[in-house]
Structure 1
Amino acid sequence: MVLFFESAVVDPPVTIYMGKDKYENEDLIKYGFEEDIWFHVDKLSSAHVYVRLQPGQTWLDIPEQVVEDCAQLVKANSIEGNKKNGVTIIYTPWDNLKKTPGMETGQVTFFNHKKVKRVHVEKRINEIVNRLNKTKVEREVDYQHEKIQREKLDRKAAREHEFLEKERIQQLQAEKQKAEKEINDMFDSSNMKSNYREHEVEDINAAEEDFM
């Protein structure tokens, strides 16, 4: 079972979720989405908490209020961390989580330690934890099915983007060809007219003779 929460500190609200135990955490590590951000108490046992951002957003887009909600929820769901003041919460994109052979169930490390941020939580703020707990919903999740469906949507979006990009390129090429044709037509000798007018030259010559 997975526990889901809603954080309405931003609009639209974001979904926060966590596994009920270490076995659920293992599945969450395996089947996360690209826009999922993972939170955990640093160097202490705690729940694995994720926030799901909007598609296309990255961990650099996560609002500070959402970081605070997740950090408070992680602290509240750590046996040791909940008792202590001044704990550090770490967070990183889901795709930075790394499993290596021999790791215990639910245990992770990182591909890139530079992509791990830290936030200091001095104490538990009951107002935040209680607000989030009021939105809590527990439900079963078919991780593999959800992952497959999401990948289908991603592929569809990629195809649509590719189609629109091809259309854009074709339009630019057509506009370029049209501009080149207009320039070529402008300098086509068959379309050019001479400024020479014979009678005007004769008049000028006559005027010069009269002057002399």
Structure 2
Amino acid sequence: MVFYFKARPEAGDYTIFMGLDKHENEELIKYGFPEDIWFHVDKMSSAHVYLRLNKGQTIDDINEGLLEDCAQLVKANSIQGNKVNNVDVVYTPWFNLKKTPSMDVGQVGFHNPKMVRTVKVEKRINEIVNRLNKTKVERKPDLKAEREAVNAVERAERKVQLRDKKKREELERLEKEKQAEIRSYKSLMVSEKMTSNKQIASANKSLQELEDDFM
């Protein structure tokens, strides 16, 4: 089971989601999207909350309102974190999550700790948490199938891009050959290398005169 929430409208059309338990979290870790941003209460047990950005966006595109929604939701879904003030929430791109065979179910590390950011949540804001909970929807998605569908689309896009690149390269090659041919033709038309009709006639006359002298 995955729980889906809608972020505040003024922040944009974004979906926030989290797994039911650590086993569901394991699936979310495995089949995440490149646009997913992972949130967790630092040094405490909490839900794994994800924000799905629009394609092409990065962690730098998260505005303050959107960040506050995610941070409040993850704090509210931490048994310990929900009881205390001034908790740190860490967040990082999904692709920075590191999973090794020795880790427990739902446990993660990071490939690059420098890509992990922290936001401090002073206290729970019920207005935000209640608003998010009103948008809550439960679904049982096939995470693997969703990930495979995205992979198929990305492969098709890369195929089109590669084809377009080859087409551009071929057109550029033909244009270079054309320009080289034009330059070569122009070099043959240089005035110093050309002979006029007058010069030809003059040369022929001189030859005739030589023949007459010989006779």
TM interval, short-chain normalised? 0.7 to 0.9
- How far off its partner does 1:4 sit? 0.6
Name the structure 2 match of 1:10: 11
- With normalisation by structure 2, the TM-score equals 0.82
Share of identical aligned residues, percent?
53
In structure 2, the residue matched to 1:93 is: 93
Unaligned runs of 5+ in 1: 199-212
Q: What do you get for the CA RMSD once the two structures are aligned?
A: 2.5
Deviation string for 1:34-69 (max 9, x for gaps)?
Answer: 111100000011110001112232223333332221
The CA deviation string for residues 68-123 of structure 1, in whole angstroms up to 9 with x for no partner, is: 21111111111111121111110111111112233222111111111111111111
> Is contact 1:9–1:66 with CA below 8 Å preserved after alignment?
no
Tell me the CA shift for residue 197 of structure 1: 11
* 1:30 paired to 2:30: yes
Distance 1:64 1:177, change over 3 A: farther
SS in 1 for 2:138: strand
1:31–1:147 CA contact under 8 A, matched in 2 = yes
Question: Which TM-score applies when normalising by structure 1?
Answer: 0.83
CA 1:62 to 1:183, structure 2 compared with 1: closer, same or farther past 3 Å? Answer: farther
Secondary structure of the residue aligned to 2:10 is coil
Map 1:19-168 onto structure 2 (within 5 A): 19-168=19-168
| Structure whose alpha-carbon radius of gyration is higher | 2
Count of matched residue pairs: 198
Per-residue Cα deviation, 1:135-193 (whole angstroms, up to 9, x for no partner): 21100011221121111111111111111222222232233333333322322238889
Tell me the amino acid that sits aligned with residue 10 of structure 1: A
Report SS of the residue matched to 1:40.
strand
- Point out 4+ residue stretches in structure 1 off by more than 3 angstroms: 190-198
